[in-house]
Structure 1
Amino acid sequence: MKQARLVGLAVVAVVAFVLLISSLFTVRQTEQALILQFGNPVRVVQQPGLGFKLPFIQNVEFFERRILDLDPPTQEVLLVDQKRINVDAFARYRIVDPLRFKQRAVSDANFRLIFGGRLNSVVRTEVARSGLGDILSTERAQIMLRIKETMKAQAPEFGVEVIDVRIGRTDLPETTSQAVFNRMRSDRVAQAAQLRAEGEQQKATIQAEADRTRTVILADASRQAQINRGQGDAEKTRILNEAYGRDLFFFDFYRSLEAYSALSTPGSTMVLSPTSEFFRFFLGTQPDQGSVKR
């Protein structure tokens, strides 16, 4: 009898332990819990620690409290300037209402599918209003701000909070990239040709100006040289006239020396008598002062 009672108590203890274990659950600091009863949400537990539920009737589904990422597939967008680009956008969000999230999205995979589609739709709408230059300039920040505000307005419907939305990459499609590259290369070739033509024109202008300046400088130098040479000859003549006027014998002697120097000119021949008056200075005879004529 006593043994049967002990067995009964042991069974009760085991059942009580199993029930206790089945009714306890732990919520970590990075999690929040949603209590489901026969698949229907009944309450939310957001405080970390131990929690209680009805065993075998209720079950617990955990949701992240941390910031999560949403990275939908890259999409091709036609811009307002008729250029096509591949846009890769992503979002950061946090689940703030697990009950609403469960009711609206059912599962995390379904939420990513629905909300990711909405993100791509908003990105496509906003980006399509802009041109390629806007996407590559400071206007890009304003585009992302408008997308973020639109997504934040839609987030409470799913029990989430949108933290940030960004456009990661904006790449041109392969065909568009090649076309843009070819056009840019053509533009650069045309620009290079124009610069070369302008350079040749400037070169010709500079050379013409240099030649003109050179001609003017040479002409001025030649004119000044002629003036200086004429002034020198005039001064020479004046000095010689003064010297000749002072000594007529010296004048006669100097003119004879000039005549003598002509005899040493190559190719010249002169036949004179040794007793000629022309050689009087070599013969030691001197003309009378009165017979010397200027």
Structure 2
Amino acid sequence: MKIASIVPIILIVLFGVYKVATFTVQIDQSAVLTLLGKPVKEYTTPGLRFKIPFAHSVVYFSKKLIEYDAPPSEIITNDKKNLVIDNFCRWKVAEPLKFYLTVKSYGQAFNRLDDIIYSEMRNELGKHTLLEVVSENRQKIMDNVTILTKKKALEYGIEIYDVRIKRADLPVQNEKAVYARMKAERERIAKQYRSEGREKAQVIKATTEKEKAIILANAYKKVQEIKGKTDAQVIDIYAKAYSKDASFFEFYKSLSVYENVLTTGTEFFLSTNNNIFKVLESGK
């Protein structure tokens, strides 16, 4: 009877010891075990762990990505233009022991990230013009900033996933002047493209005309060659005809001349001495 009444007490005591002598690291957590406030060990894998009650304490950190939204800051570009940059970064605690030793808390980590990101952002954007920052090379610029900040952040046990610009604005007093210059630059580029297009069109047209002239010249040459061969054949036929019957050939040539010269309905008179008349008169 006495043992039965003691068992619940023993179980309660054991449960209490279990609660104060163990701790659990979840799958999305890492932890640092401290002894009287001094860090002694880190845990980056999930599971049940043991500690000395009242001597050990546990500090937990999330493994999830944390988004840090930095306050807008003014930066000077390579072409001496002021630009207000609003950026953010995503990061996580990669080495909990180093993180605890260097910054201890998320609040201090935000302050350190602010210094690192602003410094690298200022240095990198200072190498580029305003136009490059706001349009052409922003992605490449931010990739470089991410690489540089990653290296520095690792000193604090922080792994930076990426750094991005949310918004890049001009100071109010400079907006109109800068936009006017940007518009003029775009118009200059457009004019250059149009000029290059016209130049290429002229080249294409000249090339086409040249090819056309070559084709026509070759065609004319071919026609002349064919005509020359045909004329030679005609002359050869005439020569053979003349050699067989010279008088008939002359008669035929005379008729051909009249046929080509005279039109239908034309009246003409022949001398009795004309060869054609003589042939008709003689019936030969």
Indicate whether the TM-score tops 0.5.
yes
2:25 matched residue in structure 1: 27
- Tell me if the contact between 1:89 and 1:123 (Cα under 8 Å) persists in the aligned partners: no
Whole-Å separation in 2 of the counterparts to 1:185 and 1:65: 44
Give the 3 Å change call, closer, same or farther, for CA 50–107 of structure 1 in structure 2: same
Whole-Å separation in 2 of the counterparts to 1:37 and 1:184: 63
Find 1:48's aligned residue among 43, 46, 49. Answer: 46
- Tell me if the contact between 2:116 and 2:153 (Cα under 8 Å) persists in the aligned partners: no
Find 1:130's aligned residue among 128, 131, 141. Answer: 128
Instruction: Encode CA deviations 1:114-140: one digit per residue, 9 max, x unaligned.
Output: 122110111011112211111133322
2:35 matched residue in structure 1: 37
> Is 1:58 paired with 2:56?
yes
Whole-Å separation in 2 of the counterparts to 1:51 and 1:83: 56
Give the 3 Å change call, closer, same or farther, for CA 187–143 of structure 1 in structure 2: closer
1:74 matched residue in structure 2: 72
- Post-superposition shift, 1:36? 1.3
2:117 matched residue in structure 1: 119
Residue type matched to 1:99 in 2?
A: L
- Post-superposition shift, 1:103? 0.2
Identical pairs, percent: 28
- Tell me if the contact between 1:71 and 1:116 (Cα under 8 Å) persists in the aligned partners: no
Q: After superposition, where does 1:164-203 map in structure 2 within 5 Å? A: 164-180=162-178, 183=180
- Tell me if the contact between 2:116 and 2:152 (Cα under 8 Å) persists in the aligned partners: no
Pick which of 49-58 and 104-113 moved more.
49-58
Instruction: Encode CA deviations 1:137-186: one digit per residue, 9 max, x unaligned.
Output: 332222112211111111221112221121221111111124445x4699
1:261 matched residue in structure 2: none
Residue type matched to 2:34 in 1?
A: L
Residue type matched to 1:111 in 2?
A: A
Q: After superposition, where does 1:274-289 map in structure 2 within 5 Å? A: none
Whole-Å separation in 2 of the counterparts to 1:184 and 1:149: 32
- Tell me if the contact between 1:89 and 1:120 (Cα under 8 Å) persists in the aligned partners: no
Give the 3 Å change call, closer, same or farther, for CA 91–103 of structure 1 in structure 2: same
1:144 matched residue in structure 2: 142
Q: Quick check: which has more Rg, 1 or 2?
A: 1
- Tell me if the contact between 2:65 and 2:91 (Cα under 8 Å) persists in the aligned partners: yes
- Tell me if the contact between 1:87 and 1:167 (Cα under 8 Å) persists in the aligned partners: yes
- Tell me if the contact between 2:22 and 2:50 (Cα under 8 Å) persists in the aligned partners: yes
How many residue pairs get aligned? The number is 187
Structure 2 residue matching 1:157: 3-state secondary structure: helix
- Tell me if the contact between 1:35 and 1:61 (Cα under 8 Å) persists in the aligned partners: yes
Whole-Å separation in 1 of the counterparts to 2:53 and 2:24: 14
Q: After superposition, where does 1:79-118 map in structure 2 within 5 Å? A: 79-118=77-116
For structure 1, list consecutive stretches of 5 or more residues without a partner in the other structure.
Answer: 192-294
Normalised by the size of structure 2, how large is the TM-score?
A: 0.59
Whole-Å separation in 2 of the counterparts to 1:98 and 1:184: 49
Whole-Å separation in 2 of the counterparts to 1:54 and 1:186: 70
Give the 3 Å change call, closer, same or farther, for CA 9–83 of structure 1 in structure 2: same
> Is 1:15 paired with 2:13?
yes
Instruction: Encode CA deviations 1:71-123: one digit per residue, 9 max, x unaligned.
Output: 21110112222211111122212211100000011111001101221101110
Whole-Å separation in 1 of the counterparts to 2:144 and 2:182: 35
Residue type matched to 2:129 in 1?
A: G
Residue type matched to 2:64 in 1?
A: R
Give the 3 Å change call, closer, same or farther, for CA 186–93 of structure 1 in structure 2: closer
Instruction: Encode CA deviations 1:7-58: one digit per residue, 9 max, x unaligned.
Output: 7766554333211111122222111111111111111122223222111211
Residue type matched to 1:34 in 2?
A: V
Instruction: Encode CA deviations 1:187-242: one digit per residue, 9 max, x unaligned.
Output: 79xx9xxxxxxxxxxxxxxxxxxxxxxxxxxxxxxxxxxxxxxxxxxxxxxxxxxx
For structure 2, list consecutive stretches of 5 or more residues without a partner in the other structure.
Answer: 189-284
Structure 2 residue matching 1:136: 3-state secondary structure: helix
Normalised by the size of structure 1, how large is the TM-score?
A: 0.57
- Tell me if the contact between 1:152 and 1:161 (Cα under 8 Å) persists in the aligned partners: yes
Whole-Å separation in 1 of the counterparts to 2:128 and 2:118: 16
Whole-Å separation in 2 of the counterparts to 1:119 and 1:46: 26
